[in-house]
Amino acid sequence: MVGIIAYFGISYAVLALVFVFVLRGVYKRITLSGRIRRILQISIAALVILLPLLPYLLVEFNTLLHKSELQQTIDMALKKDNVTSPPKVFKVLGYNKKCARIYVVSAPRNNPSKPFGEIIELHKGKYGWVRSGEADTVWSSGGNANGVIFPPYPD
């Protein structure tokens, strides 16, 4: 949760600085009518508010489009790792025709109260999607991982 708060705090701070120092100077030099000036103000405010949400929208869009295609491969990879299936969280962080990065939150079969988050990379092989290498554990309730994920998601 701290990662999300930090991400949005830094994003809004940077956007505010850009607005104050760059856009404000440009904005003062432009002579516009009152109505157009108001529309421009609202548009800039909307941009400042929505821009930090863009990475989350892209992840949700990728998840919506590709989850059904990748779900079976992820379930098999988790089963091989002795993890409960299906995962509690499934997000497609990145996707193209040859590879995909998936963020999953799951728990070991022998200790379902100790979830962990990991990134699993898949590559498109001759016969479909296959896991490439070991999963990168981003966080765990056992405290043995401390990775970074972008965009940040809560533990």
Q: What is the mean pLDDT of residues 84-105?
A: 89
Which residue matches tokens 């290498």?
133
pLDDT digits (tens, 9 = 90+) for 40-77: 778 877 887 788 888 888 999 999 999 999 999 898 88
Judgement on whether residues 85 and 42 belong to the same structural domain of the protein:
no
Q: Look at the chain and report how many structural domains it folds into.
A: 2
Assigned domain for 51 exists: yes
Same domain, 82 and 134: yes
Residues 15 and 49 in one domain: yes
Q: Within this chain, do residues 74 and 119 fall inside the same structural domain, yes or no?
A: yes
102 forms bridges with which residues in the sheet? Answer: 92, 120
For residue 27, being part of any structural domain is answered with yes
The tens digit of pLDDT for each residue in 119-147 reads 999 999 888 899 988 888 887 776 666 67
DSSP structural state of residue 82:
T
Mean pLDDT of 17-26: 70
Helix axis angle, 2-18 to 34-50, nearest 10°: 150
Q: What is the DSSP letter of 40?
A: H
Query: Are residues 130 and 90 both part of a single domain?
Result: yes
Residues 44 and 97 in one domain: no
Q: CA-CA distance, 4 to 130, in Å (whole number)?
A: 31
